């Protein structure tokens, strides 16, 4: 039988406490680093991060062109970069063009939506007036003042929406130089990284100690594997939303249901807003124009899609990347609290990567 002396017990306790504090410090350091990255470094590094990811995805095709057609690496990288960047720009331009076209079409049809607004306001005012007359004099003055403010805002609503839409389109136009600079930087960066991909990766590896370089290579493959699983989960969610929207739009006989459903499904990938960015203002306009049934149906569609996505998102992400739905939901909420919309997008991915690293033994954050 083994006996512990009195001096050995505190040492064991201190060792466990020290390990716990080190793990806690590692988690806090990771959270602080993520916050600094999203707040300051990400806007500067984003085109180069996209360029590095694109070059990694293009690497098998570049090697195939070198081996099959005896192309030089620079020429093969140029061909692949033109194809990839061209596809990305085409898809983004089609989405942006369709969005702006719909907004312009909505701006032209906006007066027809609000043509019934005066009658609607008069009807509400007449009904409320009878209620006001039956109330006490003190309450009557308070209600009349509140009602007058609401009616003034209702009458100013068409002009307010029109000015907001014009401001939005103007801000889109003012952002074009930044967008062009981003695209050019991304395209040129993709070509340069792809043309010397092996040299770039070796340079990055040399910045780490030799005993860590093997682990870094394994971590790189795990990161890209996790990125693929995460993208697949997001595509599944977008496909589900697209199917729901397409069926609903076809039942409601919406004009051009296929592109409309595709556009709203892509917008649904944006956290916080999602389909509500399109469907809720649409429902409000239908209510204002007097089409209560159609407006209620659009609102119900938004509610159903939101509930389905809220239920499926943690489950699908958990099934594809091995993360528990509760942990995924926690990452989404914590990301929103720390970094807003950007945090909701990237925090689940960071938690997924940390889990992969912990499972592989690169980090020891939890048991």
205-246, pLDDT tens digit by residue? 787 777 666 766 666 666 667 667 777 888 888 899 999 999
Angle between helices 292-321 and 210-251 (to 10 degrees): 150
Asked if pLDDT for residue 10 goes beyond 80, the answer is: no
pLDDT mean over 133-137: 63
- Which residues form the domain of 287? 218-367
Domain limit, last residue, from 207, 227, 253: 207
Q: Which residues contact 276 (CB under 8 A, 6 or more apart)?
A: 302, 306
Residue 362 has a pLDDT of 65
Matching residue, tokens 């459903």: 261
Q: What is the 3-state secondary structure (H, E, C) of 158-170?
A: HHHHHHHHHHHHH
Q: Which residues contact 141 (CB under 8 A, 6 or more apart)?
A: none
pLDDT mean over 168-177: 74
Verify that 110 and 182 share a domain, yes or no.
yes
Q: What confidence tens digit (pLDDT) does each residue in 75-89 have? A: 999 999 999 999 988
Asked if pLDDT for residue 3 goes beyond 80, the answer is: no
Mean pLDDT across the chain: 77
Backbone angles phi, psi at 5, to 5 degrees: -75, 165
pLDDT > 70 in the chain, percent: 65
Total domains present in the chain: 2
**For the ranges 20-29, 150-159, 187-196, 325-334, the one whose mean pLDDT is highest:** 187-196
Confidence class for position 196, pLDDT limits 50, 70, 90 = very high
Verify that 195 and 101 share a domain, yes or no.
yes
CB distance 47 to 186 below 8 Å: yes
Q: Among 104-113, 135-144, 330-339, 349-358, where is mean pLDDT lowest?
A: 135-144
Domain limit, last residue, from 207, 236, 268: 207
Residue 216 has a pLDDT of 67
Residue 193 has a pLDDT of 94
Of 117 and 50, which is predicted with more confidence?
Answer: 50
Rounded distance, CA 267 to CA 341, Å? 13
Verify that 87 and 185 share a domain, yes or no.
yes
Residue 346 has a pLDDT of 74
Q: What confidence tens digit (pLDDT) does each residue in 322-348 have? A: 666 677 778 778 877 876 766 777 777
Verify that 138 and 260 share a domain, yes or no.
no
Rounded distance, CA 89 to CA 180, Å? 11
Verify that 97 and 159 share a domain, yes or no.
yes
Asked if pLDDT for residue 7 goes beyond 60, the answer is: no
Residue 14 has a pLDDT of 60
Q: Which residues of 80-105 are buried (b: 16+ CB within 10 A; e: fewer)?
A: bbeebbeebeeeeeeeeebeeeeeee
Cα–chain center distance at 121:
38
Residue 301 has a pLDDT of 92
Verify that 203 and 261 share a domain, yes or no.
no
Asked if pLDDT for residue 71 goes beyond 70, the answer is: yes
Structural domain includes residue 32: no
């Amino acid at each position: 039988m083994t006996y512990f002396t009195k001096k050995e017990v505190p040492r064991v306790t201190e060792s466990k406490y020290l390990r716990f504090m080190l793990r806690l410090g590692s988690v806090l350091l990771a959270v602080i680093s993520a916050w600094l990255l999203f707040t300051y470094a990400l806007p500067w590094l984003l085109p180069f991060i996209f360029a590095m990811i694109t070059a990694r995805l293009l690497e098998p095709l570049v090697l195939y062109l070198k081996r099959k057609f005896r192309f030089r690496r620079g020429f093969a990288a140029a061909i692949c970069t033109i194809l990839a960047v061209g596809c990305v720009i085409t898809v983004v331009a089609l989405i942006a063009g369709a969005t702006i076209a719909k907004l312009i079409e909505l701006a032209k049809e906006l007066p027809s939506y609000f043509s019934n607004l005066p009658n609607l306001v008069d009807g509400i005012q007449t009904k409320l007036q009878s209620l006001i007359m039956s109330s006490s004099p003190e309450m009557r003055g308070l209600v009349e003042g509140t009602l007058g403010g609401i009616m003034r805002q209702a009458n100013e609503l068409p002009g307010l929406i029109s000015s907001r839409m014009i401001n939005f389109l103007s801000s889109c136009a003012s952002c074009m130089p930044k967008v062009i600079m981003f695209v050019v930087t991304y395209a040129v960066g993709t070509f340069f990284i792809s043309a010397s991909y092996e040299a770039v990766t070796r340079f990055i590896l040399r910045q780490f100690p030799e005993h860590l370089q093997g682990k870094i290579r394994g971590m790189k493959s795990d990161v890209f594997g996790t990125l693929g699983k995460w993208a697949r989960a997001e595509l599944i969610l977008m496909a589900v939303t697209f199917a729901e929207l397409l069926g609903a739009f076809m039942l409601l006989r919406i004009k051009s249901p296929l592109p409309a459903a595709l556009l709203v499904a892509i917008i649904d990938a944006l956290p916080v807003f999602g389909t509500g960015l399109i469907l809720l203002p649409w429902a409000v306009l239908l209510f204002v124009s007097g089409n209560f049934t159609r407006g209620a149906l659009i609102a119900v569609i938004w509610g159903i899609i939101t509930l389905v996505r809220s239920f499926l998102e943690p489950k699908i992400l958990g099934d594809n990347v091995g993360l528990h739905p509760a942990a995924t939901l926690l990452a989404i909420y914590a990301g929103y609290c720390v970094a807003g919309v950007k945090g909701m997008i990237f925090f689940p991915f960071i938690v997924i990567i940390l889990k992969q690293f912990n499972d592989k033994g690169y980090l020891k954050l939890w048991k």
